[in-house]
A = this chain, B = another copy of it.
Amino acid sequence: MLRTHTCGELNMAHAGQNVILTGWVQRSRDLGGMTFVDLRDRYGITQLVFNMETHAALCDQARKLGREFVILVEGKVSERSNKNAKMATGDIEITVEKLDILNESKTPPFTIEDNTDGGDELRMKYRYLDLRRNAVKRNMELRHRLAFQTRNYMDSLNFIEVETPVLIKSTPEGARDYVVPSRVNPGEFYALPQSPQTFKQLLMVAGFDRYFQIVKCFRDEDLRADRQPEFTQIDCEMSFVTQEDIFDTFEGLVVHLFKTVKNVDVVKLPRMTWADAMKYYGSDKPDTRFGMQFVELTDIVKGKEFKVFDDAELVVGINAGGCAEYTRKQLDELTDFVKKPQVGAGGLIYLRYAADGTLKSSVDKFYSPEELKKWAEAFDAKPGDLILVLAGKANKTRKALNDLRLEMGSRLGLRNPETFSPLWVYDFPLLEWDEDSQRFYAMHHPFTSPKPEDIALLDTDPGAVRANAYDMVINGVEVGGGSIRIHNKPLQHKMLQLLGFSEEDAQAQFGFLMNAFEFGAPPHGGIAFGFDRLCSLFGGSESIRDYIAFPKNNAARDVMIDSPSRISDDQLKELSLKVSI
């Protein structure tokens, strides 16, 4: 190595040693007789000192160093007179005897600091400079650590990582595929995988009983803020298992990751049925860092001439503990919040349980104090609490109250990103009815098995069938989902029929999987974790983009390399394609 040490490791134990360091000029200060330069590399920052009295020429050279110049210095480790306890290397500095400029730098378009002056677009265009910033660099290190520890854990349990192909076959079910024209098979296309689902099931048929893979997947969607055209999954599958085995194995994984990467102790994961999650949180991914569970009031509030409640399918609320002193203005803000189109409630009813024990609501003219007392009892409220109630169509109201609950959690500081509350949500419905197309869709995917006790309902009431499907949810984020799969051909066949596949389509798209099921498919199931999402959760951020080295923007463009781009006519011709805009 050109260097003897990194910029992050020197301390008083090295005092007096001659060392060679390499790195980037973070900043320099010219104090007349002395010039100080902060030298940065991946590991830290070390202060360099150039002395005008003893090394005038060298000091002159140092004064001309610009930000982000790449230099090599040789010198002696000395104790600082002015120590900096905040820096790992803050006790020492290097008295420089020799300076080589390895490369110059133009002035970077934004500052390479934790709080940079660069906007999003500029930082994406110069992502290689953005990655020099501490915060972004640490995200990449966290991502590496999580992948590495995932592999350690999986290997220790005899899982083997198998690479499944990237050039596969287009299947219209689910999101849109990215396709790849084949030159040697004109008019034909590969597709990039949305997940290795069918391949991992084939690996179970092949007898590999414990498979995993950290793998890139692709989805040609109209992008939202937190979606990327290419994303990474921790993809896992096991044979000869029950749902219980999946829970054990993969809560073991997150316990291992929290311990080894964050030094956080997580205990056994609680479990919640999908029905309970919807009933008590209005969401299939409840944020359980705080309580504030839903309480339904429908039965006790009807028939008091309050039309809003009388007309409502559901009246449901939460108890915002300790918020009885909320001002008019704060309550108006909450009302505005629930009325936003994204939330969609008609209005907000509140009930204050004052510290002196009196009850005061926004519907006092319809409900007597005795009646309001019943509300308070339903919520198990105590003096000082504030009850917030929504009413309307059941599903829509639950969704709105979920938004309000999360908003209250945020306002009350109950959603600390360094607190982690993982759980399993299970017993999802098998099918989801789509009003637009008047057909059922698989809630998870077409390979998910129904619960054995619900199979009879497939013919009579398909929407009521529960699946052997589960999600792992942490802090209100779905980090992983999976199911016990169907492993015999007749049931798989029936499922595809229910989903509206014609015989031909089913054979064309999944024929190889159904054929495989005829040659001794074992019972199997698995799970896939969204790795980008998991990284952002561990990093305490909302944005997965911060955890991807070279992300694309919301128009699916890489602005750094300017891609996608046109290709040559020769390339198009070789591929037997014409662009037709």
Contacts and interface: CB of A to CB of B under 8 A. Distances in A.
A182 B581 CA distance: 12
Nearest to A232: B163
A170 B208 contact: no
Contact of A104 (B166, B199, B520): B520
A94 interface: no
A543 to B, nearest CB: 17
A581 B575 contact: no
Contacts of A176: 183, 574
Given A207-B42, A209-B42, A558-B168, A564 B188 contact: yes
A420 to B, nearest CB: 24
B22 A563 contact: no
Secondary structure at the A interface, as helix, strand, loop or mixed, is loop
Interface string A178-209: 11111111111111100000110011011111
Interface in A149-192: 151, 155, 160-170, 172, 176-192
Given A180-B180, A564-B190, A576 B579 contact: yes
B576 A172 contact: no
Copies of this chain, whole number: 2
A561 interface: yes
Interface in A194-246: 198-199, 202-203, 205-210, 216, 218, 220, 222, 229-230, 232, 239-242, 245
**Chain A interface category by residue count:** 35 or more
A156 to B, nearest CB: 11
Interface of A: 1-3, 22, 24, 40-42, 68-70, 72, 102-106, 108, 126-129, 131-132, 137, 140-141, 143-144, 147-148, 151, 155, 160-170, 172, 176-192, 198-199, 202-203, 205-210, 216, 218, 220, 222, 229-230, 232, 239-242, 245, 487-488, 512, 516-523, 548-550, 552, 555-558, 560-568, 571, 574-581
Contacts of A199: 549-550
B182 A556 contact: yes
A163 B105 contact: no
A552 B199 CA distance: 14
Contacts of A577: 577-580
Given A41-B207, A131-B206, A148-B155, A548 B70 contact: no
A137 B207 contact: yes
A130 to B, nearest CB: 8
Contact of A520 (B24, B184, B203, B576): B24
Given A182-B556, A563-B167, A564-B182, A579 B187 contact: yes
Contacts of A523: 2, 102-103
Contact of A565 (B170, B198, B210, B563): B170
Given A128-B516, A182-B564, A203-B131, A216 B166 contact: yes
A40 B209 CA distance: 12
Given A22-B240, A181-B179, A488 B103 contact: yes
Given A41-B207, A163-B548, A208-B42, A563 B186 contact: no
Nearest to A188: B564
A560 B206 CA distance: 13
B148 A161 contact: yes
B102 A169 contact: no
B163 A549 contact: yes
A240 B575 CA distance: 42
Contact of A561 (B22, B72, B168, B518): B168
A5 to B, nearest CB: 11
25 contacts: A1-B241, A42-B207, A68-B520, A102-B522, A103-B522, A128-B516, A129-B206, A131-B206, A144-B155, A144-B162, A148-B161, A163-B548, A165-B552, A166-B166, A166-B230, A167-B558, A169-B558, A176-B183, A179-B180, A184-B555, A187-B566, A188-B565, A189-B564, A198-B561, A577-B577
Nearest to A24: B520
A104 B517 CA distance: 9
A-B CB proximity, top 6 nearest:
A105-B520, A131-B206, A188-B564, A169-B563, A182-B564, A144-B160
Contacts of A556: 182, 184-185
A70 B161 CA distance: 24
A187 B578 CA distance: 9
A151 to B, nearest CB: 6
